[in-house]
Amino acid sequence: MSLRLSTVILPYRRWHEGGRSTWTRAEQLGFHTAYTYDHLSWRSFRDGPWFGAVPTLTAAASVTERLRLGTLVTSPNFRHPVTLAKELISLDDISGGRITLGIGAGGTGFDATALGQEPWTPRERADRLGEFLPLLDRLLTEDAVSYEGDFYSAHEARNIPGCVQRPRLPFAVAATGPRGLALAARHGQAWVTTGDPKLFENGTPQQSDRALRQQGDRLADACAAIGREVGELDRVLLTGFTPERSRPLESVDAFVDFAGRHRDLGFTELVVHWPIPDSDFAADEKVFERIAMEALAQLKE
């Protein structure tokens, strides 16, 4: 099974002070996709620079030609399907059809309260995503949509001419629970996971592998329940949140070993964080670039 290597570039640098050059370098290094987080702020970066995902991806689309671009991930925490659909159609047009929407239920971080609301419970987040995602699917594939739901409404929302990618840009659905996996099975072109968060602090790689295999099995069950072949979905692992943390980026050999294990678990795409000094994503940039250019070729041998 072939494996693709992608990166995620956090939007913390001013465009003309390193932001632009990072995205162009990602294309030069041959990454399949360069994603960015779609948050209003995030963890330890909250009190520093942090820029919006859609404008950042728009700028990245203007300085790249082949690199796919996307979010990991967008959520309903501060988005509405009607306005998001308009932005995505515009972004897909500007990029020439190179956009993937990573989307999930969101969490309880800063995004959950930035608009002044109380954080939603896990059930509420699942309820909202369950309405948000099918409506967004319609908005990106139909010229005009009207809808009245429990959380979201659309009144003759027009989205002409639609996406460059047909029938719409691909969805990469982040999910581990049954309701999210069911949405991935029905609406996704890819499934995204970060592993089992309970294993991050004290788990072992072997435990993580078992947990990921179990998640994949549940995805297959969700696909079977609606008569879809699970092989139609790409499987994406956003790295850095398994027990290995950043250790696979310490050397090319370490990454090849990590990548081989996860390819054998059925993953078709691994996403590595672009190095950020003095952070959880610190890594040697020269080693990182060697991994980008050499690791997958070694894996095929």
Sign, CA dihedral 65-170-157-113, equals negative
State the DSSP string of 179-200. Answer: HHHHHHHHH-SEEEE---GGGT
Phi, psi of 265 (to 5 degrees): -85, 0
User: What is the reported pLDDT for 77?
Assistant: 95
From first to last of its 301 residues, the chain has per-residue pLDDT tens of 689 999 999 999 999 999 999 999 999 999 999 999 999 999 999 999 999 999 999 999 999 999 999 999 999 999 999 999 999 999 999 999 999 999 999 998 889 999 999 999 999 999 999 999 999 999 999 999 999 999 999 999 999 999 999 999 999 999 999 999 999 999 999 999 999 999 999 999 999 999 999 999 999 999 999 999 999 999 999 999 999 999 999 999 999 999 999 999 999 999 999 999 999 999 999 999 999 999 999 986 5
- With the CA atoms of 144, 149, 151 and 157 taken in that order, what torsion angle do they form, in degrees rounded to the nearest 10? 10
Residues 33 and 69: beta-carbon distance below 8 Å: yes
Asked if residues 137 and 187 have their Cβ atoms less than 8 Å apart, the reply is yes
**Is 103 in contact with 133 (CB distance < 8 Å)?**
yes
Distance CA 297, CA 301 (A): 7
pLDDT of residue 2: 86
Q: Which helix (H) or strand (E) holds 266?
A: none
pLDDT given at position 1: 60
pLDDT at 279: 94
Contact 258, 244 (CB under 8 A): yes
The interaxial angle of helices 178-187 and 122-141, nearest 10 deg, is 10
24 three-state secondary structure: helix
